[in-house]
Chain A
Amino acid sequence: MKKSKLEAAKSMAKAHSLVEPNLKRVCLIEPLDNDDPNDPIKLLEVVEGTLEMGIEPVAFTADPARGIEYPSIIVEISPDEYQEIRDLGFAKFHRKRVDLLGKKGSVAVAPKHRRALRSNVAREQQRAERRDGWTLGEELLAR
Chain B
Amino acid sequence: MIVRPTDQDWARGYAKQALSDLRAREALVRAGTDKCHRLHFLQMAAEKACKAYLATENGHMNVRKSHAYVKRHLPTMARHFYKVISNNKISQWEISEIRRLAKEIELLAPACDDGDVRKDNAEYPWEDSKGRIQIPCEYEFPGIDDGDRRLVRLVKLIYAASEAYSR
A residues at B contact (CB < 8 Å): 15-16, 19-21, 38, 40, 45, 49-53, 56-63, 66, 68, 71, 74, 76, 78, 101, 104-105, 108-109, 113, 116-117, 120
Contacts and interface: CB of A to CB of B under 8 A. Distances in A.
B14 interface: no
A64 B166 CA distance: 37
The main secondary structure of chain B at its interface with chain A is: helix
B26 interface: yes
B113 interface: no
B85 A116 contact: no
Interface of B: 12, 16, 26, 29-30, 32, 38, 81-82, 85-86, 88, 90-91, 93, 146-153, 155-157, 159-160, 163, 166-167
A50 B82 CA distance: 8
A68 B146 CA distance: 13
B147 A60 contact: yes
A104 B155 CA distance: 24
Given A19-B149, A57-B26, A120 B166 contact: yes
The main secondary structure of chain A at its interface with chain B is: mixed
Given A58-B156, A66-B147, 10 more contacts: A16-B149, A19-B150, A20-B150, A51-B157, A53-B159, A53-B160, A59-B26, A60-B146, A71-B30, A74-B152
B155 A58 contact: yes
A63 B140 CA distance: 12
Contacts of A45: 152
A20 B149 contact: yes
Contacts of B159: 53, 56
A16 B151 CA distance: 11
A51 B160 contact: yes
B147 A117 contact: no
A29 to B, nearest CB: 15
A109 B88 CA distance: 26
B156 A49 contact: no
B91 A49 contact: yes
A43 B35 CA distance: 22
Contacts of B26: 57-59
13 contacts: A20-B150, A38-B32, A49-B91, A51-B81, A51-B85, A52-B86, A53-B160, A63-B147, A101-B167, A108-B167, A113-B12, A116-B16, A120-B167
Given A49-B86, A78-B86, A113-B12, A60 B157 contact: no
B156 A76 contact: yes
Nearest to B35: A61
Nearest to B161: A51
A127 to B, nearest CB: 10
Contacts of A120: 166-167
